[in-house]
């Protein structure tokens, strides 16, 4: 099998076999060249213009590298060689379904990018290549790996506590943004990965030697720092909130079709919005005249589950935004609420081999008195996630009134709107 070499600013030489190169040349994969990895973060960090295309190549590279390291392990003999090729291709294709400007549209209820990936992988040119080279069931097996639903012993490399996707994007995003927060020890982490037998089922699975847990802690801290300072930076979230509202309004007005969203590139969707749904907000986003913070507080200062309706109920949130805007002397669309969709800083379900050979499972329960990663993860998460109110012009808001509104349930918010007494009233 012939090999092509691509130069990458992060990993230097990336070796691509002929199958991977053929998949890269398909239109579905080439679209990723024009989908920025970090969405609108380039408005804050000018270097953050790298694409999902580069990230996909980097994840593929780490998959090849890890599988090569596994070849020196005795238990790797338990792994079917077909699984290894599927892992490499799943690593390459794992983001093929991403929307323009990354994850933003999933926050307004668009189908998750992993679900979008299914028809792109299971139908059309990509599917034809996979059928020819890897067998009739290859597309579905690759989709299962991407969705974290495969019974493959190597599933953890694609979707899991320490999947290779995280290792590439944290290093790449930090490098391209020019920050040091994502400087994780990838070499230590990859070399700490091993094939272990599950103590419950005796089946082989990807795990880690205990000495690698310190590097896993650095991964958690790097992820927290990147969320706090890059992914959820207040100006990045302002731009994201504006973009989400623009697309949501266009969908509601029939100017965009939800079924076609995943076919757009970043500039493509802005161009179509400009033609079909022009607005002052779109112009402001293009000119980086971002909405300003009128209120903010971290999730750590809120009661558990407070404000989740803002993250989960787009229709209610838009209605509240419009009513609040009018209540405060603004026009509808000139006030936006933002509370990032709930995520895990570090989901844990990992087999760990102790120095004396015992294999234990590290989960969200942790190891009493020894491993506090789950608790640390939750604390990091609550301090990185912020509730914010953005407005097109600076206005004064009563923090207690905003927190009071955010602390209501969705049903209580609707009742207050129906009462006509004002959303920020007593």
Mean pLDDT of 108-135: 93
Whether residues 162 and 251 share a domain: the answer is: no
**CA–CA separation, 232 and 360 (whole Å):** 34
Residue 368 located in a structural domain: no
Model confidence over 366-415: pLDDT tens digits? 665 455 666 667 777 778 899 999 999 999 899 999 999 999 999 999 99
Which residues are 361's β-sheet partners?
Answer: 351
Would you place residue 422 in the very low, low, confident or very high pLDDT band (cuts 50, 70, 90)?
Answer: confident
C-alpha to C-alpha distances, 297 to 92, 302, 307, 344, 389, nearest whole angstrom? 38, 8, 11, 19, 10
Which domain, by its residues, includes 157? 3-196+207-232
Model confidence over 117-127: pLDDT tens digits? 999 999 999 99
Mean pLDDT of 35-51: 97
pLDDT score, position 369: 47
Mean pLDDT of 107-112: 87
pTM value is 0.94
Domain count, the chain: 2
Residue position matching structure tokens 């301090």: 383
Model confidence over 194-203: pLDDT tens digits? 999 999 999 9
Residue 355 located in a structural domain: no
pLDDT score, position 426: 54
Whether residues 118 and 223 share a domain: the answer is: yes
Whether residues 225 and 247 share a domain: the answer is: no
The domain that holds 77 is classified in CATH as 1.10.3210.10
Nearest to 336 by CA among 299, 293, 376, 365: 293
């Amino acid at each position: 099998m012939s090999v092509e070499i691509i130069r990458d600013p992060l990993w230097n030489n990336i070796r691509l076999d002929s199958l991977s190169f053929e998949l890269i040349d398909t239109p579905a994969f080439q679209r990723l060249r024009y989908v920025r990895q970090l969405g609108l973060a380039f408005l804050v960090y000018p270097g953050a213009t790298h694409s999902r295309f580069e990230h996909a190549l980097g994840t593929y590279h780490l998959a090849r590298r890890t599988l090569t390291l596994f070849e020196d392990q005795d238990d790797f003999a338990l792994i079917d060689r077909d699984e290894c090729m599927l892992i490499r291709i799943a690593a390459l294709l794992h983001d093929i379904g991403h929307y323009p400007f990354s994850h933003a549209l999933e926050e307004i209820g668009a189908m998750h990018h992993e679900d979008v990936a299914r028809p792109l992988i299971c139908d059309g040119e990509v599917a034809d290549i996979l059928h020819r080279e890897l067998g009739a069931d290859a597309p579905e097996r690759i989709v299962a790996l991407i969705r974290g639903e495969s019974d493959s012993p190597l599933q953890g490399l694609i979707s899991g506590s320490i999947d290779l996707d995280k290792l590439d994007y944290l290093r790449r995003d930090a490098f391209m943004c020019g920050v040091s927060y994502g400087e994780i020890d990838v070499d230590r982490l990859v070399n700490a990965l091993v094939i272990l037998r599950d103590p419950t089922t005796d089946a082989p699975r990807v795990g880690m030697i205990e000495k690698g847990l310190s590097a896993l802690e650095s991964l958690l801290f790097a992820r927290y720092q990147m969320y706090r300072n890059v992914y959820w930076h207040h100006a990045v979230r302002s731009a994201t909130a504006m973009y989400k509202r623009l697309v949501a309004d266009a969908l509601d007005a029939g100017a965009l079709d939800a079924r076609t969203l995943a076919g757009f590139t970043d500039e493509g969707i802005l161009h179509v919005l400009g033609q079909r749904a022009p607005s002052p907000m779109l112009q402001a986003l293009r000119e980086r005249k971002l909405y300003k913070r009128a209120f903010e507080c971290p999730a750590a200062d809120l009661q558990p589950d407070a404000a989740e309706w803002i993250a989960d109920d787009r229709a209610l949130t838009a209605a509240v935004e419009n009513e609040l805007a009018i209540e405060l002397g603004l026009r509808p669309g000139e006030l936006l609420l933002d509370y990032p969709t709930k995520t895990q800083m570090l989901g844990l379900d990992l087999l760990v081999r102790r120095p004396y050979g015992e294999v234990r499972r590290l989960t969200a329960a942790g190891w009493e008195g020894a491993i506090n990663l789950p608790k640390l993860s939750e604390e990091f998460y609550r301090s990185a996630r912020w509730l914010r109110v953005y407005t097109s012009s600076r206005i004064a808001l009563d923090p207690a009134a905003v927190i009071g509104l955010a602390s209501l349930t969705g049903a209580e918010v609707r009742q207050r709107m129906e009462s006509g007494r004002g959303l920020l009233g007593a």
